[in-house]
Structure 1
Amino acid sequence: MLKKNDQELFGLERFNPDDASRSYTLPGNLYYDPEIFEVEKEAIFYKAWNFVCAANQLEAPGSYTTTRVGDQNIAIVRGRDGEIRAFHNVCSHRAHQLLSGEGKTRMIVCPYHAWTYDLDGSLRSNSILETVDGFAKEEFCLKPVKVEIFLGFVWINLDLDAVPLVEQSGGFGDDVRRYVDTPETLKFAGRLTFEIKANWKNVVENFQECYHCPPAHPALVELFDHGIYRTKNYGICSSHIAPAREDNSAYKFDASKKGNQLMYAAWFLWPNLTFNAFPGRRNLSFMHIMPTGPETTFEHWDFFLEDETPNEEEVAAMDYIKNVLQPEDIGLVESVQRGLHSKAYSQGRLVIDNDRTSNSEHGIHHFQSIYYKAMTANR
């Protein structure tokens, strides 16, 4: 954690976690310092709930996927009893990685020495292990990771004592359901992947405000009413809501079609996930902002739709995100990342207006306050 005397060293005395209207931004060096990035892994990512996939992507017993949280490789598997479990993806013998990618298996077998684990993580004995003096196979089961199914999606937490996500997120689930009915039944319909030369916080903060939207995203501000767009902060979440406009240059959708979503609704969930419900047929997409280094980020954008095959409107929306919206945002955050190294920059001043309009940066302050508290806890 950051030590008390680090407050002055990093300029944090000018960041006000309790009063957005009087706060400066976080200091620039927190966005590229390798030591800070190492602290973030322990203080944030190894204690937070991390998104994995939809539960229905692991529908059959033996279905599995793997993911990384910081330096930790995790395997998520549905057992023969129907329960989804997660384990550190490492053999208890000599630390070889067990599973790769995604797929289906009857049991988990280490490629190195064929140590074999049941889908519940228990080690299976064999004739060789039975000859080892004093060997207790119970000691060498796979090490568990906490799992939660929330809104029909799988989440993991390396902290086995973590408060459940449904409790941490307060009314977040109900808020999402106001705009996306029964998200549990949506089907995975595709993924876009982007590699970004920017710190993960830089990417989150770009999502957390629409002050930049009129100059940087002309098609996006046609898609929704920027004058009505509002950001609301609560708990570990923020919502970004505005009515959609059928007449726009981003993509076309039929506002008269029964059941179509006529609002643009998006949410941030601490520490690094955004939810997005675009105008059109019932949909939900996740932008998973995954840090790979102090100044590099791997971003997955996963789409969950009524059907596995997108319709014409959804293809147009996905193309807009891939070819227009994301290149616009990536250009912005990569330019900011370069600018953070300038000797002329240390901290900026957050723009907070009294009415918290679409030009206000109170969403950034909310994220930075959660970050500040996580990084200075128990110092």
Structure 2
Amino acid sequence: MFTMALKLPSRDLIASFDSSDVDLADAQTLPPECYTDADFYEFEKEALYYHEWLCAGRESWVKNPGDYFTTNIAGEPIVVARGRDGKVNAMSSVCAHRAMLVAEGSGNTRMFLCPYHHWAYGLDGKLTGAPAMEKTCNFNKEDHGLTRFAVEIWHGFIFVNFDLDAAPLAPRLTDVSDAISGYDLANADGDKPDKPGVFPWNWKVMFENNNDGYHASKLHQGPLHDFVPSDLAEFPEADPADAGFLRYNGTLHADASFNATQKALLPVFPNLSDADRNRMTFANIPPTLSLVMMSDMVIYLILRPTGPETMEQDTGILVAPGASKHPSFGHKMEMNMVAAMHIIDQDMHVDELVQVGLRSKFAPRGRYSWQEGAQIQFNRWLIKRYRDAYDRLTSPKLTAVKGAA
């Protein structure tokens, strides 16, 4: 998916990442242009989105054969569907004829019919019908299906990869999987979120905010958050080659949850360890999925950039299996969400103003507190992929191919 017109970052910018890829005590934040520059965003799509595993949604959104939903990640329209064989498929929703989208929204269908010229596709993306094409030379339906993507299901989340040769996801998430196994997320209850939120900031601003334990006791100080103090933050080591990383934050009492009582109101996930019940766990699978995990509720964020300074996000809730069937569930969830939305509103206000600040000619490359250990893990994850992409795109072999083109 390499674009010939792609403008690569300067060597100086790539070299400047070195100071963000050192020990936390010595590190600087990433250069501001990584959050604002249109050319860098195009490079980032090649470095991250065209080759990494991207969370598209939950497997429960396509429970039955024929169920489908659509999404758009970094400008690429995607349709996810469960086939008659029970397999989950992910494809480009761009018609192979004239680029009309063959699917919108979500629902259940026998096939995807392009409304423009009625080319028909199976739930696996294969072209099954193309009216009035019998006079077209050398036209074979087998060659004109929807572009298929790699699919992997991880803890009930559907991941897609545009790169069919990409290494599998799960083997690079063993530490994260072990840490969250008690939540049994594959079987957790949770409805499909409504319309995604649309936000005027770079996706990394959102991802960093969700990883930032440093601000919790400052921005969120008060009875809705003081039981999760910043000085109880922990940052397990992670290999930048892995697909994700963790952050823990200890709580002042067991089964802490975001509501006015500070305690879990919903049924606790039944398989949690004592350690799980005395902390909040933040599991991150960049660039698209971030999990905030409490004893009775998991908030998941599916992040999708729409430009260098804009993004949209699905925000969903998962609870213990069967919890949503209890008669008092709606009332208790409402109590949780009143507190959660108060905290989220504070974060949104900060995210918007951080993006404004990043545009300034005076935007700094700041220093980190020890309570920002997850930020250095995120930096290392990003920088490895930025460097790998830069090296790949400036390799003599690729340069020769570009010259020949």
**Is residue 291–residue 297 contact of structure 1 (8 Å, CA) maintained in 2?**
yes
Distance 1:240 1:95, change over 3 A: same
**Letter of the 1:194 counterpart:** G
The alignment's TM-score, normalised by the length of structure 1, stands at 0.88
Q: 2:302 corresponds to which residue?
A: 288
**Letter of the 1:210 counterpart:** G
The 2-side partners of 1:57 and 1:267 are apart by 21
The 2-side partners of 1:157 and 1:243 are apart by 36
Residue 111 in structure 1 maps to residue 125 in structure 2: no
Distance 1:271 1:254, change over 3 A: closer
Q: CA deviation at 1:248?
A: 8.0
The 2-side partners of 1:279 and 1:308 are apart by 15
**Letter of the 2:39 counterpart:** E
**Letter of the 1:328 counterpart:** Q
Q: 1:189 corresponds to which residue?
A: 191
The 2-side partners of 1:63 and 1:362 are apart by 41
Q: CA deviation at 1:297?
A: 2.0
Distance 1:149 1:10, change over 3 A: closer
The 2-side partners of 1:90 and 1:100 are apart by 11
**Is residue 266–residue 332 contact of structure 2 (8 Å, CA) maintained in 1?**
no
Query: Higher helix share goes to which structure?
Result: 2
Match of 1:343 among 361, 370, 374: 361
Gaps of 5+ in 2: 1-5, 395-405
The 2-side partners of 1:94 and 1:335 are apart by 41
Q: 2:204 corresponds to which residue?
A: 201
Distance 1:129 1:291, change over 3 A: same
Distance 1:195 1:259, change over 3 A: closer
**Letter of the 1:375 counterpart:** Y
Q: 1:211 corresponds to which residue?
A: 214
Q: CA deviation at 1:257?
A: 6.6
Distance 1:61 1:225, change over 3 A: same
**Letter of the 1:264 counterpart:** M
**7-16 or 292-301, larger mean C-alpha shift:** 7-16
Residue 46 in structure 1 maps to residue 50 in structure 2: yes
Q: Percent identity?
A: 26
CA RMSD of aligned residues (A): 2.6
Residues 127-158 of structure 1: CA deviation (Å, up to 9, x unaligned): 63334333211111111011001112211111
Q: 2:260 corresponds to which residue?
A: 251
Residues 166-206 of structure 1: CA deviation (Å, up to 9, x unaligned): 0222321121113x1x2211232353643322211111111
Distance 1:41 1:110, change over 3 A: same
The alignment's TM-score, normalised by the length of structure 2, stands at 0.82
Residues 28-49 of structure 1: CA deviation (Å, up to 9, x unaligned): 1221011111111111112111
The 1-side partners of 2:365 and 2:306 are apart by 24
Q: 1:152 corresponds to which residue?
A: 156
**Is residue 265–residue 278 contact of structure 1 (8 Å, CA) maintained in 2?**
yes
The 1-side partners of 2:126 and 2:81 are apart by 13
> How many residues in Structure 1 have an aligned counterpart in Structure 2?
366
The 2-side partners of 1:61 and 1:327 are apart by 38
Secondary structure of the residue aligned to 2:68 is strand
**Letter of the 2:294 counterpart:** F
Q: 1:271 corresponds to which residue?
A: 287
Residue 102 in structure 1 maps to residue 110 in structure 2: no
**Letter of the 1:275 counterpart:** L
**Letter of the 2:362 counterpart:** A
The 2-side partners of 1:211 and 1:335 are apart by 17
Secondary structure of the residue aligned to 1:124 is strand
The 1-side partners of 2:34 and 2:98 are apart by 36
Q: 2:247 corresponds to which residue?
A: 239
**Is residue 70–residue 292 contact of structure 1 (8 Å, CA) maintained in 2?**
yes
Equivalent runs, 1:1-379 vs 2, <5 Å: 6-9=10-13, 12=16, 15-125=19-129, 128-178=132-182, 180=183, 182-189=184-191, 191=193, 193-218=196-221, 219-234=223-238, 235=242, 236-243=244-251, 245=253, 250-252=259-261, 253-254=263-264, 262=277, 263-280=279-296, 283-305=297-319, 306=321, 307=323, 310-322=329-341, 324-352=342-370, 360-377=371-388, 378=391, 379=394
**Is residue 74–residue 87 contact of structure 1 (8 Å, CA) maintained in 2?**
yes
Distance 1:198 1:111, change over 3 A: same
**Is residue 188–residue 318 contact of structure 2 (8 Å, CA) maintained in 1?**
yes
Residues 75-128 of structure 1: CA deviation (Å, up to 9, x unaligned): 111000110111110111111100001110011111011111111221114663
